[in-house]
Structure 1
């Protein structure tokens, strides 16, 4: 792919694959000036682009890239690679709080999508109504690739120009305009594997003069098939045998309902006699029916997208009216592993009737009668029956379908007042999403009623008469007893189907905006002029995210969501904001220029923020430009973060970040644990803040040679998130955060097993009392309960408030080289682009200790690409290599049994660690231009390189930095009318 980096030396393009940018450079005040405007400045004038490094992806670059979507295109530039910020549907799941299916986001420098401002034609677009976690983001899959003329990427702080969210920089998608003629493009891509991951695309563009103005209309259709882990040999099987789950689709008998003991008297899980897979030996010496997620893992979800839109420009005397509009409809399906089955109160080991084992042959049943410890349990209708506990999950994956409608309308006027250019526009942008769970979601109350034989045919739970010991249904017939151990039984499956539910989720995100901008010469200075820009902006943002009642956690229901394994997300917020900015371009000498900018923003919720910027441009010679800039930026708390009413999710706490937390909750191990939590929005959140520095140069030692080098650094503070590790740490000394059982309404903190308050420390204090010694309480709990794991027993639904949790500092170098050899038959271009991360420091959750992320899991130190292209008048051919450096595997987050297996396989070094190997893939692209048509072919991962093995991911590879597609191809045909 060709990538241009603009600078101001001698009117040439910079970066990976220059296509040239025509600049008219002013040599004295009498010469004419070509007015241009680039991302990063509102000043229209020469050479402003040189104040900061800018990456431009042109229409020609897009065509040669072979990308079929905006996300595929953006993942090839170095600024969006590395770290965990950018994501696609490979990370989505089928729960109400998952990354939204079918949507994708681009993140600069690994700082996260909410720290990257996304613009279209220099103005904002509505965020997705469904946040990724609590981070709102713009779904770049909603931007039609066919309508894009070019993309400008400014990877440095830009709040002084654009306001909130431009912490890591700006990605500005410039739409086509003034198009003349018509073009039809059809493309198809797939992998070379036997499975079908086909991607089909058709788009049409037409432009002409209409009504005295220029009209451009486009339409785009895109269809993508799904891609499962089972479609490749290297992702089909579990990466480690020890990475199993006890929760099998064919349930086991829970160890607390077992009479089978080991030599030390510990009770052991009993395998399901009808296990459909080979039994697995656990670290406790059990042979169980285990579950691995690979069989239910979609590496890419199906997606269908339809876009249409137009742009229109017309002059009315000295006024220019321009309007652009586009509408996108996307439909997608996403999947998660089958939901675990818990008790009604969400604790482990649900009960089933003793009759469940009657399905087995007599010899097996007789053995189970001896091996199982039967006990009475209470049913939803109020019966007390004999049964036993089991470990299991449902058979069908959780499945959701999501449909999103997005549109954006911008209409504005542009003209002159004296020598000043002005423009004003109104913006309306909206994203509406509807989500429905179509499979794998079951009502917890109905399910347990079905297990007890208390479910009616109309879905109601039967009434129990204790006096007559009978069950009755109102308006339906009593169904039989559901047996979770039975398989391939139509009547049994029909009973389970009565417990299925289809929760929904509706979201809407809207941006209303108005702006007014002026640009012109302010005053004469140093035999030149000071150029300037001023502007005002008003914006209102609204967002709602409302699930159906059966997918909400409610205090009156003990915070239990009615359905298993789906979560709850309820948020609603709005805000108004106004801002004012000023920019000045000051010629200090003939060789030295300065840019000053500042912007003030005022929000009606969290407050205000002022952000300045200073940049310098120095031209010691005609072929060398030196530049430096400093700026502050901010990210306003997202509307989701400010307006979360109650969000049920899984929060992780990092045992490796805090040894005290590890000793109390993780048996001293440094793994990552997860728990059900309730997140609450925080109206008192402060804005995230950042200082950014950029220093570099652009040098053209020869006419066809360009070298750029830029150092950059971000100091990012007051990051917003929930911090369970920190809350666990604070709870060691703060009794107000410790609760036996559910956290009371209106309070926050950690929920412990209710029975934990039955034990005390040596001073007689319970865990809820001030001054309690948690280490002594842990010792007392182990003596009292003799638990399988010697750690403080956490309950569920810890209540955590979103807060400004920490800081991070990121720095690195960008290097680009471009050289073109001119021959009589064509041009040969050599292009190199690389990013070297010097440091990525972040405080550990719950600790002031700073950790260095570069070289750790998902944070490669070096990212690079090298391309060689041959261009003639009618055809091109090129090859590009993409390199991702090695980094440490996520070994410390694994459980002890997994580490033991890795050690036995010889995968660990002397320090008990291993690296994920570096990965290099090669893209081949070629195309031919006819008189009125063109054809192109691109082949990705030409040598079919498998992704490097990563044991820290259950998938066996890092789906953020690598992919499992293998060799893929795309053929494109265009016809011009």
Structure 2
């Protein structure tokens, strides 16, 4: 990739006397430019075949039918990145909304993990490999791979289920590990933001020894990243909303002074305006003991700014790794090898104090509570629904917070060798992967104790507030004042209950494979690769008993509703056979300097759903020496994950716009509306959920089928002989995927019921006022996904000049289409989501054009680079016609955003006397701020932290030395 003249050098080498199809390429990424016209018997003799990601055939060609993007060790070091996730986030092929792509995802992340979402097809449709073998984990965390262990990263931008099996739909990211290292390498890294926060430190050490019998390399890696607070950045210091056409610095209606919804007879005493929606809040500084202590709730002035009280824009994390890579020659034809690494990560997150909703949290605030001045019940307890909502922000127990400890271990042991003096090679290996995650949470309330503390209470003979009634006091219970928590902070602190979760994932895989030459054709040698594998996966997620969802509706547990979840226990095994053949059809004839076919197929037998057979056809046609035309047609599939299959019901809080808002249709006038808006008042006063969210109930489905589809690529590579150093490529891509595995979207359910009478049984509303209680979200094989676009690549190494050597490059991806056809449970089409050029909270960012430009300079011991990352403009509010809006109150509002470009600069110097190197750099050199997408459209800090930089200008330095 980084020496555009290399493919031409290889072709010239292959035409030299005495070189056959079995010649091999050695040191391909470092082959000097002087090798462009090698002499027979010199450079030619060093050529060896290699395996490039996307094929199991050993070949001399780097340019094959499948497009591959490569990042080598030198480039990795120049970025100053300490984790793989930060490194790969800049790739133009990254899109969508991988919520754990970087440490900037705090609310919904905060584990230190990094996942990869190629093409925006979803992280589950991107296969992660380490030396061609699957990285273990329920959602493989690439940050677990020690960055100093990586020789290069190969990103296959094509479907490859025929080669690697399930999940290789959007592409494959293959981490190639270093080997045969001799010496000691030590490096230290340091970085800090322009705002003097977000400090990071790192140290790596690698030791290697190589002999005639084999090699051994061991290493350690340690890095630490400090937090960045949302309050310390202008764009995220306040919770910004787009509401009624205006930008409002607002926040949550769950406030420390409470938002209290009153029945009509009580609210009439306050003469509140419509924006209060029948609610009041305690006047600042008042006791809250009488009605005169309350005023009408004003969303503009009374909302709680959760961004200012602990939310983070960069989560703190600490990571340490050990690794070993070695091989030992047992005989002339047999070699034993080991590849293993161990990683421990600690991370944390903190978000605003707990929002309490008495109704959804299944807590009844009694009319007989000594602190209740209103004389009515609030919230609910089981079927006893007061119909009166009560919102509160529980500042008395501090921020919600969590600490995460993750251990990832992966080891691959094997034997490999050759069959005598033939071209055939074999490999037999066993891979074991172990992922363990322990999380401890704080800032939550024990619900049974809270129910007692806000239930009936009285003043005893000593003048002390007491839970219960005079005839039945509750021992060990202290009443709390939900109307003024500042009066009873100690009582609230007694209610806090930390909880824990554990996740275990174990993967075992055994594989045997062989590859070599079959027979000679006039155009060359036919080669074959065959293999068989057996893989077993097991996952267990164990929630705390406090957070285990309770029947019958599974929306509540013994803590606040947002913590409620369910265990996941299950596993599967899969047996696979695969074969791949390389067939040279034509060579050195008119208009066909070379014409090759690659055919592959894989048979997979899963214990969960049965069989799947997927095949692939690749074509390479070189009509001229300088031009390669290539294309692939591949069948792809994704097997249901253990979570997809075995997850018990668990609640979530998706963004929701109720179609019954403002409904005035009389009962009986429209049967669909009657079912969709059951119990909803028909006078136009219904306003939907006060916080723009509802409760969804997601569950796994053991009857899921695999996703099935096809992936297509067509491209041209042009390496002009008339301009040495230039290489260009253009590749069109298309994906068509059926039977998508996904949980039914709550907005789809509500709109389908409202417009067509479908899926109405999934909607559950409160009888008292028609507000949604919860919506069932079963996991089903739903709909179809169609995506297509084009990749561009230009690399040019300019001729040497007196002022140094320059290299320029550009890689870009343009997304022409990203459509999701949604179906109901009966298979009927219910609408299409057009995501290309859009951002949406549900799916993420699909800016049509993303690019990565580079300019590198070298002169003696000096070098420098300039990298520009480009993200095209996009629209907000048009993903689902008629169902989405960028404005929180006005429907169908679309906001357009311009492009964003980030500039990174790096300078390096080689200190030859001590074999050391120093690097200095700055990321986001011009301090480009992220676009404001408003809190009513995003979860984290008013913007999209997966796509945009949230820290600002960042300086880093690196010193390395080799012995």
CA drift at 1:115: 0.2
In the alignment, which residue of structure 2 is the partner of 1:806? 783
Question: Aligned to 1:871, which of 858, 864, 878?
Answer: 858
Q: What do residues 699-732 of structure 1 show as CA deviations (whole Å, max 9, x unaligned)? A: 1112211111111111122111111344445656
Local SS of the residue matching 2:838: coil
In the alignment, which residue of structure 1 is the partner of 2:489? 493
Q: Counterparts in 2 of 1:284-323, with a 5 A limit? A: 289-295=302-308, 296-317=310-331, 318-323=333-338
Q: What do residues 890-916 of structure 1 show as CA deviations (whole Å, max 9, x unaligned)? A: 37899999977999xxxx9xx842212
CA distance in 2, matches of 1:682, 1:428: 27
Question: Aligned to 2:938, which of 946, 950, 953?
Answer: 953
Q: What do residues 293-315 of structure 1 show as CA deviations (whole Å, max 9, x unaligned)? A: 32242122110101001111110
Q: Which moved more, 1:511-520 or 1:265-274?
A: 265-274
- Structure 1 residues 877, 960: closer, same or farther in 2, change over 3 A? same
Local SS of the residue matching 1:174: strand
CA drift at 1:430: 0.7
Q: Counterparts in 2 of 1:563-712, with a 5 A limit? A: 563-564=559-560, 565-590=562-587, 591-652=594-655, 664=676, 674-701=693-720, 702-712=723-733
- Structure 1 residues 421, 913: closer, same or farther in 2, change over 3 A? same
Question: Aligned to 1:534, which of 530, 533, 543?
Answer: 530
Matched, 1:249 2:256: yes
In the alignment, which residue of structure 2 is the partner of 1:272? 282
In the alignment, which residue of structure 2 is the partner of 1:815? 792
Q: What do residues 778-807 of structure 1 show as CA deviations (whole Å, max 9, x unaligned)? A: xxxxxxxxx5xxxx53223x4332101121
In the alignment, which residue of structure 2 is the partner of 1:198? 199
- Structure 1 residues 874, 351: closer, same or farther in 2, change over 3 A? farther
Query: Quick check: 2:367–2:374 contact (8 Å CA) kept in 1?
Result: no
CA distance in 1, matches of 2:437, 2:539: 11
Local SS of the residue matching 1:569: coil
Question: Aligned to 2:425, which of 421, 425, 428?
Answer: 421
Question: Aligned to 2:158, which of 156, 159, 166?
Answer: 156
Q: Counterparts in 2 of 1:778-797, with a 5 A limit? A: 792-796=770-774
Local SS of the residue matching 2:251: coil
CA drift at 1:609: 0.8
CA distance in 2, matches of 1:265, 1:855: 34
CA distance in 1, matches of 2:945, 2:655: 20
In the alignment, which residue of structure 2 is the partner of 1:343? 358
Matched, 1:851 2:833: yes
Local SS of the residue matching 1:77: coil
Aligned length: 874
CA distance in 2, matches of 1:976, 1:304: 26
Q: Which moved more, 1:427-436 or 1:663-672?
A: 663-672
- Structure 1 residues 808, 27: closer, same or farther in 2, change over 3 A? farther
Q: What do residues 392-416 of structure 1 show as CA deviations (whole Å, max 9, x unaligned)? A: 1211221111101110010111111
Matched, 1:929 2:902: no
CA drift at 1:220: 0.5
Q: What do residues 223-275 of structure 1 show as CA deviations (whole Å, max 9, x unaligned)? A: 01111211111211222327532210222333346442348999732222127
Local SS of the residue matching 1:71: helix
CA distance in 2, matches of 1:683, 1:901: 37
In the alignment, which residue of structure 2 is the partner of 1:234? 235
Matched, 1:719 2:740: yes
Question: Aligned to 1:64, which of 78, 99, 113?
Answer: 78
Q: Which moved more, 1:720-729 or 1:864-873?
A: 720-729
Q: What do residues 405-451 of structure 1 show as CA deviations (whole Å, max 9, x unaligned)? A: 110010111111242100110000110011111x2111112123223
In the alignment, which residue of structure 1 is the partner of 2:518? 522
CA distance in 1, matches of 2:635, 2:378: 61
In the alignment, which residue of structure 2 is the partner of 1:975? 961
Q: Which moved more, 1:56-65 or 1:946-955?
A: 946-955
In the alignment, which residue of structure 2 is the partner of 1:860? 847
CA distance in 2, matches of 1:657, 1:876: 63
Q: What do residues 7-48 of structure 1 show as CA deviations (whole Å, max 9, x unaligned)? A: 9554499xxxx95568999999xx976121111111112226
Q: TM-score, normalised by structure 2?
A: 0.83
Query: Quick check: 1:719–1:805 contact (8 Å CA) kept in 2?
Result: yes
In the alignment, which residue of structure 1 is the partner of 2:437? 433
CA distance in 1, matches of 2:301, 2:954: 39
CA distance in 2, matches of 1:378, 1:51: 63
Question: Aligned to 2:925, which of 938, 942, 945?
Answer: 942
In the alignment, which residue of structure 2 is the partner of 1:511? 507
Matched, 1:752 2:762: no
CA drift at 1:823: 2.0
Q: TM-score, normalised by structure 1?
A: 0.82
Question: Aligned to 1:44, which of 39, 51, 58?
Answer: 58
Query: Quick check: 1:246–1:288 contact (8 Å CA) kept in 2?
Result: no
CA drift at 1:612: 0.7
Local SS of the residue matching 2:449: helix
Q: Which moved more, 1:170-179 or 1:76-85?
A: 76-85
Local SS of the residue matching 2:394: coil
CA distance in 2, matches of 1:5, 1:390: 66
In the alignment, which residue of structure 1 is the partner of 2:809? 831
- Structure 1 residues 901, 282: closer, same or farther in 2, change over 3 A? farther
Query: Quick check: 2:205–2:220 contact (8 Å CA) kept in 1?
Result: yes
Local SS of the residue matching 1:648: strand
Residue segments in structure 2 that go unaligned for 5+ positions in a row: 13-27, 242-247, 287-293, 459-464, 588-593, 664-671, 840-844
In the alignment, which residue of structure 2 is the partner of 1:915? 896
**CA RMSD for the aligned pairs?**
4.0
Matched, 1:554 2:550: yes
Query: Quick check: 1:9–1:624 contact (8 Å CA) kept in 2?
Result: no
Query: Quick check: 1:917–1:949 contact (8 Å CA) kept in 2?
Result: no
In the alignment, which residue of structure 2 is the partner of 1:187? 189
CA drift at 1:375: 2.4
Q: What do residues 927-955 of structure 1 show as CA deviations (whole Å, max 9, x unaligned)? A: 11112211101211111111122233363
Q: Which moved more, 1:563-572 or 1:515-524?
A: 563-572
- Structure 1 residues 275, 575: closer, same or farther in 2, change over 3 A? farther
Q: What do residues 359-388 of structure 1 show as CA deviations (whole Å, max 9, x unaligned)? A: xxxxxxxxxxxxx6422679999xx9x999
In the alignment, which residue of structure 2 is the partner of 1:781? none
Q: Counterparts in 2 of 1:390-429, with a 5 A limit? A: 390-395=390-395, 396-418=398-420, 419=422, 420-429=424-433
CA distance in 1, matches of 2:226, 2:236: 18
CA distance in 2, matches of 1:657, 1:812: 38
CA distance in 2, matches of 1:140, 1:250: 43
In the alignment, which residue of structure 1 is the partner of 2:868? 881
Q: What do residues 841-875 of structure 1 show as CA deviations (whole Å, max 9, x unaligned)? A: 11247553323211111211111122211013422
Query: Quick check: 1:251–1:272 contact (8 Å CA) kept in 2?
Result: yes
CA distance in 1, matches of 2:254, 2:618: 58
Residue segments in structure 1 that go unaligned for 5+ positions in a row: 129-136, 358-371, 456-461, 740-748, 756-786
CA distance in 2, matches of 1:604, 1:387: 48
